[in-house]
Amino acid sequence: QDTWFWSMESGFDSLSPSIMKIFSGKSNLELSKKIANLVGVPLGEIDLETFSDGELRVAFKENIRGENVFLIQSTNPPAENLMELLLMLDAAKRASAKTVTAVIPYYGYARQDRKDKPRVPISARMILDLMAAAGVDRMITMDLHSPQIQGFTNVPFDNLYSRIVLFNKLQDYNLSIDNGVVLAPDVGSAKMSQSYAKKLGIGFALIDKRRPKHNVTEVVNLIGELNNKHVFIIDDMIDTAGTICNAAQTAMDNGAKSVVAVATHPVLSGPAISRLKEAPIDKIIISDTINIDNDKLFDKLEIISVAEVFSEAIVRINNGDSISELFK
């Protein structure tokens, strides 16, 4: 076993369950159960109700006074997930929790991180303001669409990396600089893709794309050599799958032997499933930051859990240890 997993185990051995409690919202209960199980504490009891008029009600069913409380909830649509997290934060602070940490496996609205046209909000900043106002002491997320979002708030905000677990899976393909390449589907994913390419010891290529309107992408240029290569396409998320599928088709049109798509967040909205099924992609490797309904599962999809990364981060924060050590 590698070093980070070994250190995680040693952290568990020294953990005193009485000094922390973990609760989950409704967004991804399965991941929350895995995280709590790895940490070694049971999920806390909490009532999450919806009244007939649509209002939400949150109530902790156990004492959390003086505890380090971790609330696991993604902020992806529907918007109730965000509202539920805000109410959980407020309830925890009013119940005299010592600290309250929001564990957000998928930070929704991260793509709205700038004012790209007149009269639009900077939604990524506004959501952080809401959580800060609700009393959050710390936040943890994974593979932010734009890392600079961490600077939108004065609350400590840790951005974890799925590559801690995804990298081992890609190593199993045993590719080299002669027969493998990481293809960045757009400029935004270039830094992540370059990191994978360097660690895997394979080539790097980049697609220059244009977005004529929301959720529509067009390939304009290809930089790099794909002929006779096995290609990894790596991105932070798959939403409608237009970007990934266009990149896969571009790879095959330029002589690629095979294509494997890798993404952290499986948003999989709109026509994503049908596009991925029809695309020239051998396998789609994703994480479980977002819960996927059974009707969206298909043969080419492989899910790798990131529960170990979050559980290790929670233990380190609770014990006052370094989070950055996780990435070494």
Question: Model confidence over 263-317: pLDDT tens digits?
Answer: 999 999 999 999 999 999 999 999 999 999 999 999 999 999 999 999 999 999 9
Q: 59 pLDDT band (50/70/90 cuts)?
A: very high
Percent of the chain with pLDDT over 90: 82
SS3 of the chain: CCHHHHHHHHHHHCCCHHHEEEEECCCCHHHHHHHHHHHCCCECCEEEEECCCCCEEEEECCCCCCCEEEEECCCCCCCHHHHHHHHHHHHHHHCCCCEEEEEECCCCCCCCCCCCCCCCCCHHHHHHHHHHHCCCCEEEEECCCCHHHHHHCCCCEEEECCHHHHHHHHHCCCCCCCCEEEEECCHHHHHHHHHHHHHHCCEEEEEEEEEEECCEEEEEEEECCCCCCEEEEEEEEECCCHHHHHHHHHHHHCCCCEEEEEEEEECCCCCHHHHHHHCCCCEEEEECCCCCCHHHCCCCEEEECCHHHHHHHHHHHHHCCCCHHHHC
- Using the predicted structure, report yes or no on whether residue 152 has a pLDDT greater than 50: yes
Q: pLDDT at residue 9 above 60?
A: no
Higher-pLDDT residue of 70, 216: 70
Q: What's the confidence (pLDDT) of residue 3?
A: 38
- Look up 209 and say whether it is catalytic: yes
- 14 has a pLDDT exceeding 50: no
Average confidence (pLDDT) over 139-162: 94
Residue 208 pLDDT: 84
Q: What's the whole-number average pLDDT of the chain?
A: 91
Q: From the CA atom positions of the chain, what is the Rg in Å?
A: 20
pLDDT band with cut points at 50, 70 and 90 for residue 116: confident
Under the banding of pLDDT at 50, 70 and 90, the label for residue 186 is confident
Question: Which listed residue (21, 209, 229, 277) is catalytic?
Answer: 209
Is the alpha carbon torsion for 47, 48, 50, 51 positive or negative? positive
pTM for this structure?
A: 0.90
Q: How far is CA 190 from CA 101, 184, 193, 198, 240, in A?
A: 31, 5, 5, 12, 20
Supply the pLDDT for residue 217: 60
Provide the pLDDT for residue 160: 96
- What pLDDT is attached to residue 187? 84
State the pLDDT confidence band at 5, using cuts at 50, 70 and 90. Answer: very low
Residue 100 pLDDT level (bands cut at 50, 70, 90): very high
Top-confidence residue, 273 or 146: 273
Q: What is the mean pLDDT of residues 166-170?
A: 92
Distance of alpha carbon 189 from the chain centroid: 14
How confident is the model at residue 194, as a pLDDT?
94
